[in-house]
């Protein structure tokens, strides 16, 4: 069995995927037509050609524009189901999915429409595709801390639909400390917490996410290597890093995949994982990310398997579910070894 075949057969867990970032151009145009929403791009091809990003902000400008087509529960259901079907094809067994309610509520879309549309897709995916999932409500860090608090309060009647809160959008200039109060409130309400940090922002943002927001894992975190004390802290506490390799190259965090530091993160003993971030925009879902790092960084079977194990360990699943996933992964490894 080749390494590519091993990766294709590997049971996977994904911990960093923005559902709005899985909206493929074809579905975007379909939803735009049925909702009567005009797009400034004349065709799917024109839109894809616009995916030449120079940094995070240039991506976010198009990302938020694409989300404008989402207005009704079926829109959110269809978007999420399209992701789940792709995930199932790539042997994703469990996914923990970010969603950005403020992207929609600021346009007058009720938060219940967003959450219930996604939740209906979750139920369908688990029943029909065997893909379990959890939702993580993210606050947009370029908006105010007060707006984040209002969003949390609006979401509390739907608290059974999501397990954690997170922090995403424009990182530079918006440190985690800005959102300390809303994360304190979220933890008081019983939610887990995660945050994007150390993608474009400095290692200090990772420290703030850990110390001020009480996060269980760091989304991205690739700049942690600039701070030896931080690396030691992350290693000792086995805090997961949800790394997104294709995204990092597409957004110029690294110029080439060959320059990515994922291999070094593993060598340092960190709990690094592989994820797709915004797969419709960055050229690949989780499997393409595994294949890209295997080829670009020369990772072998043991390193690939370790990345997959780290994702299981870093998930918010309970211990029995993690044991089942580890058993499936171990069986795949044994089969690859011919045992």
What is the pTM (predicted TM-score) of this model? 0.96
Which of 2, 23, 11, 108 has its CA nearest to residue 281?
23
Catalytic option among 20, 24, 73, 199: 199
Handedness of CA 8, 327, 270, 130 (dihedral sign): positive
Return the pLDDT at 121. 98
Which burial class, exposed, middle or buried, applies to 204 when counting CB atoms under 10 A from its CB (0-12, 13-18, 19+)?
middle
Once rounded to an integer, what is the mean pLDDT over residues 75-102? 98
d(CA 191, CA 184): 10
d(CA 172, CA 197): 9
Options 3.30.420.40, 1.20.120.80, 3.20.20.140, 1.20.1600.10; CATH of 3-337: 3.20.20.140
Strands 12-18, 164-168: pairing is unpaired
Q: Give the pLDDT band (50/70/90) at residue 233.
A: very high
Once rounded to an integer, what is the mean pLDDT over residues 270-282? 97
Which of 254, 251, 209, 301 has its CA nearest to residue 61?
251
Q: Where are the domains of the chain?
A: 3-337
| Known active-site residue 199 | yes
Return the pLDDT at 131. 98
* 168, containing H or E segment: strand 164-168
Return the pLDDT at 327. 98
Higher pLDDT among residues 57 and 189, named by residue: 189
Separation of CA 240 from chain center: 13
Separation of CA 90 from chain center: 16
Compute the residue count for the chain: 339
Bridge partners (DSSP) of residue 192 are 164
Angle, CA 300 vertex, CA 295 and CA 305 arms, to 5°: 115
Strands 12-18, 241-243: pairing is unpaired
Average pLDDT, the chain: 96
Return the pLDDT at 336. 87
């Amino acid at each position: 069995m080749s390494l590519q075949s091993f990766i294709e057969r590997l049971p996977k867990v994904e911990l960093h995927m923005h559902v709005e970032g899985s909206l493929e151009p074809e579905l975007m145009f379909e939803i735009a037509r049925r909702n009567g929403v005009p797009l400034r791009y004349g065709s799917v091809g024109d839109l894809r050609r616009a995916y030449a990003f120079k940094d995070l902000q240039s991506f976010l400008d198009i990302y938020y524009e694409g989300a404008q087509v989402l207005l009704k529960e079926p829109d959110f259901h269809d978007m999420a189901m399209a992701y789940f079907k792709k995930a199932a094809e790539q042997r994703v067994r469990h996914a923990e999915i970010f969603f950005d309610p403020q992207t929609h509520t600021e346009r007058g879309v009720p938060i219940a429409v967003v959450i219930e549309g996604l939740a209906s897709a979750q139920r369908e995916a688990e029943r029909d595709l065997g893909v379990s999932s959890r939702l993580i409500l993210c606050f947009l860090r370029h908006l105010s801390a007060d707006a984040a608090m209002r969003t949390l309060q609006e979401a509390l009647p739907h608290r059974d639909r999501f397990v954690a809160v997170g922090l995403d959008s424009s990182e530079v200039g918006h440190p985690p400390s800005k959102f300390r109060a809303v994360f304190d409130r979220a933890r008081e309400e019983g939610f887990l917490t995660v945050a994007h940090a150390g993608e474009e922002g400095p290692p200090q943002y990772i420290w703030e996410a850990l110390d001020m927001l009480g996060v269980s894992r760091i989304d991205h975190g690739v700049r942690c290597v600039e701070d030896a004390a931080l690396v030691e802290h992350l290693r000792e506490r086995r805090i997961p890093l949800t790394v997104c390799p294709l995204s990092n190259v597409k957004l110029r965090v690294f110029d080439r995949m060959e320059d990515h530091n994922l291999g070094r993160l593993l060598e340092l003993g960190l709990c690094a994982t592989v994820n797709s971030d915004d797969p419709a925009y960055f050229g690949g879902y989780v499997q393409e990310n595994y294949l890209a790092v295997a080829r670009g960084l020369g990772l072998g079977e043991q390193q690939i398997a370790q990345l997959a194990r780290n994702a299981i360990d870093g998930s918010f699943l309970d211990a029995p579910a993690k044991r089942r996933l580890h058993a499936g992964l171990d069986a795949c490894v044994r089969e690859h070894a011919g045992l």
